[in-house]
Amino acid sequence: MKKLVVSAVMAGTLLVSSPLASNAALGDRTLKSGMTHSEVKQLQEVLKKKGYFKSSKTTTYFGTVTKSAVVNFQKKNRLKADGIAGANTYKALGIKKGAAPAVKKASAPAVISSTFGKRTLKSGMTHSDVKQLQDILKKKGYLKISKTTTYFGSATKSAVINFQKKNRLKADGVVGTNTFRALGSAPSSSSKVAGVSSTSKSTKIVSTTKKYQNVPYKWGGTTPKGFDCSGYLGYVFKQGANISLPRTVADIYKKGVKVSSPQVGDLVFFETYKKGASHAGIYIGNRQFIHSSSSNGVMISSLNNSYWSPKYLGAKRI
């Protein structure tokens, strides 16, 4: 019976001693860039007290700020400045192996379940949505870290800024509505535009576009008797999603939010007879868009078409 109790206690100890255990002792393991561990937070606390770690908030992630702090400490103490916290660095910090420093234990941040895209994300935040953001930025080639985390640090902010610059958005490193849209991650079922969800809106718009296929082109036309380019767009958006568009293509282009890749229901713009946006259509998927052509009326064309491809300006979401 005693042996059974001892075995149970030992098994419990093994479970508690997982890599993310909050009572892990600083100095037990080598810490380096890209790692996520409770000891990283302890290391940051020590470096912060010594004036090397400048962030206002400590986390369990070993990012660029932590590495910079370690490198500066190592240089000051004439150690190999590789940014890796090993035996010599711990010794210089006054930390003995197996001895956790007396630091205030912070409660783990609450993870709130939410639809990704509803919450503005910015530097210093810790949230499950940040990890999803990092995954997207990593897939798009903007974030170079080996492992994604729930913390919005300097590497994430830098990636967001580069993405925003590339997509001609305000490059403030804050992920709000426009950035989510450009990422193609605006919330679908819960995001309302003119009383219609974004998914439903796109479906209704595309469904409406096809009702008027083959309607003839008419200069200044805004009804099914005949459409010009912008007249067709305005009619379809009003009928399909109760959205009022400006009368000219140039003004519609000013209203939309630029996206890197069009999704169904987005507008695609072209520079034809004058500089700037002078023609537009509605993207319906598979590199195809529907528009009112001056030569053939309402028709479906391809973005790969030899005429339209070199004139393509980009896509915007209303």
Separation between Cα atoms, residue 168 and residue 47, nearest integer Å: 38
Separation between Cα atoms, residue 286 and residue 288, nearest integer Å: 5
User: Has 279 been annotated as catalytic?
Assistant: yes
Q: What are phi and psi of 39, to 5 degrees?
A: -70, -25
Q: 40 in helix, strand or coil?
A: helix
User: Has 229 been annotated as catalytic?
Assistant: yes
Query: Of 47, 95, 133, 229, which is the active-site residue?
Result: 229
**Nearest-10 crossing angle of helices 64-76, 38-49:** 50
CB 218 within 8 A of CB 227: yes
| Residues 297, 301, 306, 308, CA torsion sign | positive
Query: Of 204, 291, 316, 317, which is the active-site residue?
Result: 291
CB atoms within 10 A of CB 138: 16
CB 237 within 8 A of CB 254: no
The two three-digit tokens of residue 99, written as one number: 């001895």
CB atoms within 10 A of CB 98: 9
Query: Of 279, 284, 290, 316, which is the active-site residue?
Result: 279
Tell me 25's DSSP state: P
C-alpha angle with apex 152: 149 to 153, nearest 5 degrees?
Answer: 100
Q: What are phi and psi of 72, to 5 degrees?
A: -65, -40
Q: Which residues are catalytic?
A: 229, 279, 291
